[in-house]
Amino acid sequence: MILFGPELEELRERAKAAAMHHFVEQASQDGVPPTLRAMYVRKAEQAQLVLGGGSSSLIEGEAALRGITAIQMAQVVISMAAAGGDEIELKRMETNVAIETAATETDIVDVLRARGITMQIDLSQIGAGSADSGA
């Protein structure tokens, strides 16, 4: 037997990695620089802290500048954070579920193809020592 591609489970993992890369690329096309994105993530974490009854000088400081309460500011931050990534994350998760439930390698390729996701496979790295010489 000669292997022409990865085993089903290996292909699943590679396909999910390709899907993740695809959706991260989509999310990053909003023009927000990575450093600013990291600050937004931190701000959302701090907003969650405030909504959970804690305190945050970042959220409290911005709330004071805007003339609103820290709770109101935290709610605004969480609302803004949720608006941007939910749709992309749901598409990514739907793709992962489709990959995980695909019955064959062809089904996995079809899942990727239907979503415009490409994946390159270096066949020299697949199944080393697994090919049957035919003897």
pLDDT reported for residue 127: 54
With respect to residue 47, please indicate whether it lies within any of the assigned structural domains: yes
User: What's the domain range around 94?
Assistant: 14-24+32-115
With respect to residue 81, please indicate whether it lies within any of the assigned structural domains: yes
Q: How confident is the model at residue 3 (pLDDT cuts 50, 70, 90)?
A: very low
With respect to residue 63, please indicate whether it lies within any of the assigned structural domains: yes
Total domain count, the chain = 1
- As a whole number of angstroms, the distance between CA 97 and CA 91 comes to 10
Q: What is the pTM of this model?
A: 0.62
In 3D space, the residue among 68, 24, 23 whose CA is nearest the CA of residue 47 turns out to be 68
How much of the chain, in percent, has pLDDT values that exceed 70?
85
With respect to residue 74, please indicate whether it lies within any of the assigned structural domains: yes
With respect to residue 135, please indicate whether it lies within any of the assigned structural domains: no
Tens of pLDDT, residues 125-135: 555 544 443 44
Q: How confident is the model at residue 104 (pLDDT cuts 50, 70, 90)?
A: very high
With respect to residue 8, please indicate whether it lies within any of the assigned structural domains: no
Q: Which residue has the higher pLDDT, 66 or 133?
A: 66
With respect to residue 82, please indicate whether it lies within any of the assigned structural domains: yes
Collapsing DSSP to helix, strand or coil, 21 comes out as: helix
Pull the structure tokens for residue 39: 């600050």
In 3D space, the residue among 86, 81, 112 whose CA is nearest the CA of residue 17 turns out to be 112
